[in-house]
Structure 1
Amino acid sequence: MLKIKVTDVKQFMYCQRIIYFTYCMPLSVKKTYKMDYGKDKHERVEELEKRRTLQRYGLEEGEKRCGIDLYSARLALRGKMDLLVVKEDEYIPIELKYSTRKPRLNHKYQLAAYGLLIEDQYQTSIRKGLIHLIPNKETFEVEMTSNLRKKVKEIINKIRELIELELMPEATQERGKCRGCEYRNFCGDV
């Protein structure tokens, strides 16, 4: 079974064509300024995170683990979790975002996909995850419901189907997303 990445879940929800161009028509694209800037900020935050307390996430205690590689053979899914907090037998995934906008659905599904990986890898059950907005220092809790888990599994299957059929999906309805997209020049209809 084709292994996909957790970030593919986020990208699929953002624009399905990103998955098409990544897997069906691998292109050499230049990273955008926004991508480079976000990566640099993300790396800096990971560095600083090692000495920060958990209070910024509304947590009292726990062991912080940064940059955890996760894999599930059952889901054929892999990813690198920004931050995982472990306290006793509770695992709390934390996704760090360099954004001032409240988390969108694609971010919640990405977090839930990490939750599924953690459940498989550590043989546990995740009750919640957190999305932390770095600039605003805001943290949002996402409950890991059965419906959320089900939806993420459906998205994983849709990603595989898209790749298998190799049919270019319709363009996103939110054309504002296209302005800074590294694949914009390849779409032809946006």
Structure 2
Amino acid sequence: MIQVTDIKQYVYCPRVIYYTYVMPVNKKVTYKMEHGREQHRLEMIKEKRRGLKSYSLIEGKRYFDYQLKSEKLGLTGKLDLLIETDNSSQPAYPVEMKYTFKGIQANIKYQLGAYALLLEEKYNTSIDEGFIYIIPKKEIHTIPISQEMKEYAQKVISAIHNIIEKEHFPDPKSKRRCHDCEFRKFCNDLY
């Protein structure tokens, strides 16, 4: 089983998968990572007191840290927030909370797409919309989840399983991203 967060990591750089599963190394937890986790924790406490109006939903039941799993996809993850509704066209909405100042990047969208795949299997219906909450700006963004996003997420899931099973050392996504990467010191071929 791989984690949904692995999809976000793979899109950022496939080597993160290699250093997590094939050749596990001790990651350096940065201040930025710790601060982000703490802000996420605090925002989850606040979110439990809020209503659904900011999501443009009238009714629904909320589940925090909702665990999802698919044997078929070999994928598991803990969704920040699941909003379950009586809407027959879309009975559930995935919500991911992110502490970022860079806006909504592709890796975050594909992570949301992977959660949509897990929810589609659970509810046996299409999940075509979700939300990303940007913590520093306190903004909720409605994200359309297209079929292309879901197909790309499935390709990434397959690629991750391939790296793990074949112990393949992938090329880096972009050398520009290496500066802030916690695995930087292990990629000796980049200098």
Calculate the TM-score normalised by the size of structure 2.
Answer: 0.92
Q: Is contact 1:57–1:132 with CA below 8 Å preserved after alignment? A: no
How do residues 66-81 of structure 1 correspond to structure 2 at under 5 angstroms? 66-81=64-79
Question: Counterpart of 1:127?
Answer: 128
SS in 1 for 2:34: helix
* Structure 1 unaligned regions, length at least 5: none
How do residues 82-161 of structure 1 correspond to structure 2 at under 5 angstroms? 82-89=80-87, 90-161=91-162
Q: CA deviation at 1:135?
A: 1.3
Give aligned pairs, total: 187
Let me know the Cα RMSD of the aligned residues.
Answer: 1.4
Q: CA deviation at 1:174?
A: 4.5
Q: Which amino acid aligns with 1:99?
A: T
Find the partner of 2:53 among 37, 40, 55: 55
Q: Are residue 16 (structure 1) and residue 14 (structure 2) matched? A: yes
Q: Which amino acid aligns with 2:96?
A: E
Q: Which amino acid aligns with 1:160?
A: H
* Structure 2 unaligned regions, length at least 5: none
Q: Which moved more, 1:120-129 or 1:24-33?
A: 120-129
Q: Which amino acid aligns with 2:140?
A: T
Note the alpha carbon deviations across 1:21-70, whole angstroms, 9 max, x for none: 00110112221111111111111111221111222333333211111000
Instruction: Output the CA distance in 1 between the equivalents of 2:29 and 2:102.
Output: 22
Q: Is contact 2:162–2:168 with CA below 8 Å preserved after alignment? A: no
Question: Counterpart of 1:65?
Answer: 63
Calculate the TM-score normalised by the size of structure 1.
Answer: 0.92
SS in 2 for 1:189: helix
Note the alpha carbon deviations across 1:80-102, whole angstroms, 9 max, x for none: 00011111042010111111322
Q: Is contact 2:4–2:114 with CA below 8 Å preserved after alignment? A: yes
How do residues 171-186 of structure 1 correspond to structure 2 at under 5 angstroms? 171-175=172-176, 177-186=177-186
Q: CA deviation at 1:110?
A: 0.1
% same residue: 42
Q: Which moved more, 1:63-72 or 1:96-105?
A: 96-105
